[in-house]
Structure 1
Amino acid sequence: MSLSDDGGYGGDSHRGPETGQTRTRLPDSDGDGYGTARRSRTGLSSRNLITIVGVIVLLLAAIAFANRGGSGNSESPSDDSAKDAGAARPTAPTGTKPVTGKNDGIAKGFPKTQQGAESAAANYAVALSSGGMYKSAQRDAIVGAVYTPSAATARKESLRKVYTDPKFLGRIGLKADGSAPSGMTFVSRANPAGTKLEKFEGTTATVAVWYSSLFGLAGQGSQNPVAESWYTSTMQLQWVNGDWKLADFTQKAGPAPVGGDQTAASAKDMSKAVQGFGGFTYAR
């Protein structure tokens, strides 16, 4: 409720007892020769009561107005560490600026807080779902940027086997070197919808990231047109060398919303959109 809604400013029309400096001649008043009205105790009491009520209404309106700012889902970064990690806390902006550092195009320098862990997880989900994972040099750079040093060493070899498998690449329509056929645009992009902190213990954190994924080949005659899917990745993070790094993660499908009734874009429009719209640095 705003002050203008409850009539709180209406109290200005009741200014309490008169000062006695102004004399008013009333036709039928009982007064002295100047026609001064004899003051009524009942009138004074009524005016005082109205004034008191007006003050109370103003006070209640001010309290209600002040409480509006704290009734939303946003939370102050300073209170972040005090929150129960298991409580339901929808992703909402906090006002804290995104990180400014970059490591091979991937955000770095996340704060050692719950919010920092959630931001790191969202950005790492995007990096690990990008088209760069299908190119050897880019894949190694991404893995080195998001994983802990020990996990990165093990992951580089296992991921190399997956992303260079001819059968796997052929199934999704890519050439043996991970590139798209002539006239096609390969699309692999994650779009986080929210994060959820499941566990936080100072130097370790578990964060679930819910996101949609655009994947496929955009182009005339594509056998694997770009389609949308939904996933949830649960990431195990560790605080290493002044930043959050990924130790391991698991992925599951969904939850997926009901599909809309929009008409699918043409291959040309989809290619233009992917090439023309960049990504984000995600911050909690």
Structure 2
Amino acid sequence: MTTHGIHTIDTGFVRPQFDAAYLVVEDGRGAFIDCGTNFAVPRMLAALDEAGIDAPAVDWLILTHVHLDHAGGAGKLVAQLPNAKLVVHPRGARHMIDPSALWAGASAVYGEAVMEQTYGRLQPIPAERVVEAPDGHVVDLAGRPLLCVDTPGHAKHHLTVHDARANVCFTGDVFGLSYRDFDTANGPFILPTTSPVQFDPEALHASIKRLVGLKPEAMYLTHYGRVENVEKLAVDLHLQIDAMVALARAAHSQPDRHAVLMESLTDLYATRAVAHGWNRGRDALRQLLGMDIELNAQGLEVWLDRQ
């Protein structure tokens, strides 16, 4: 279903309904919001066909932040969009113009071979095609204003796009993760993402409160899709941010801090999932959330070490 010209694109990263990008169409013109990895580019272009517009009709690619599951394919995609400009947080712009530091940092963690296989080689974007979007910057899509809101907490270079026409926000990772696999009669199940390296609990609380203050009727998450009942989900996120910080502090002095934190985070999410009416068991939860639990533990540890 398409609402207000908003199309959800499954980028194909990791598994179905794990990683989304979006296409907003207004009066025959288009804006992509996030783009997945290089391997998602054919899906992004196919979405244009499905929406009935062509590549020259795309004016914008807006990135919520430059983590590679959101922005890894930006250079390759922009090269296919002759009239599009890239919109990105000022802190992220240099990494899109010259992605070598971004690549080197991730390769140091994962290795070159894994990076090539998972994301594909990052392509630079000409500086003249990059627009920096500080807080309050408005992207004009054929007269439809898309407001860029500075929303740190997950990353310092994170922005959220508020679409007043549809009264929704495209939240990247700042409004957490909500996989459709966990939906129950009680609605969507949500959890924060504290992945390395710039998690800041106070900033994340403030960003969530700011977005709720816009009174959107729905959030479009990268992981994954449209969720409603925004105020209830925000309460869940605030409670869990505090619980996760408490677990991190409790694990801090343990000899195997990472293993302790992995287990306590799994306990937290499993308990909350059961209370939400999700009864597929701990093994299924580990299978679906294993990568996120690992990244959340790492991000909390980086935060601990900064304190």
* TM bucket normalised to smaller: under 0.3
Normalized per residue, which structure has more helix? 2
Q: Which structure: larger Rg?
A: 1
Bigger RCO of structures 1 and 2 (CA < 8 A, at least 6 apart) = 1
TM-score normalised by length of structure 1: 0.27
